[in-house]
A = this chain, B = another copy of it.
């Protein structure tokens, strides 16, 4: 059983690293499209990777930030941005974009779950916890787009993204309230969120448009 849990922890760490890398790369790509300079690429990469969790910690008044406790993640994203600028060229962008879809979806699920979990621990009501999960998963990308001076893609591309995090957040809350063990709630939330996101991408689902 101990062995089993160790596998679980390793898996979780891998998903976290892959998700953070995917978020950072989404920032790097966006920065490149907007022709930012090297400083801008770094900042947008950092914002995309850490912005959501930082905003959650600010709102929940949690300190130290997770990237202060795990400063090696800062160094990792720094190195990733540097490597991207050294070796990535425009003809790699589309493949990268497609390649990060899965880790991005997994990261969305994991970050949502951690946000909901942390909010529930501090005694927040269910809706607030779900919103905290959504903020954790989605607002890194929102900050990235605001700094890049465009309407956040999540709010305007009519693809289900934040909606997946919102639904997945309720899955976590449900599992929590049914008294499920932590790893099961986490697994259900990540599986549901990432699965829904990949399904939406694959079937090309669109959010209903407001016919004004």
Contact = CB atoms under 8 A, between A and B. Distances in A.
Interface string A122-151: 001101100100000000001000111111
Interface in A1-53: 31-32, 34-41, 43-44
Contacts of A40: 151-152, 154-156
A45 to B, nearest CB: 11
Contacts of A147: 142, 146, 151-152, 155
A27 to B, nearest CB: 11
A115 to B, nearest CB: 14
Nearest to A161: B39
B74 A39 contact: no
A58 interface: yes
B146 A89 contact: no
Given A68-B125, A149-B149, A89 B36 contact: no
Given A85-B210, A155-B44, A125 B34 contact: no
A157 B68 contact: no
A203 interface: no
Nearest to A128: B68
A209 interface: yes
Contacts of A150: 149
Q: Which 4 A-B pairs have the closest CB atoms?
A: A40-B155, A90-B212, A37-B158, A71-B125
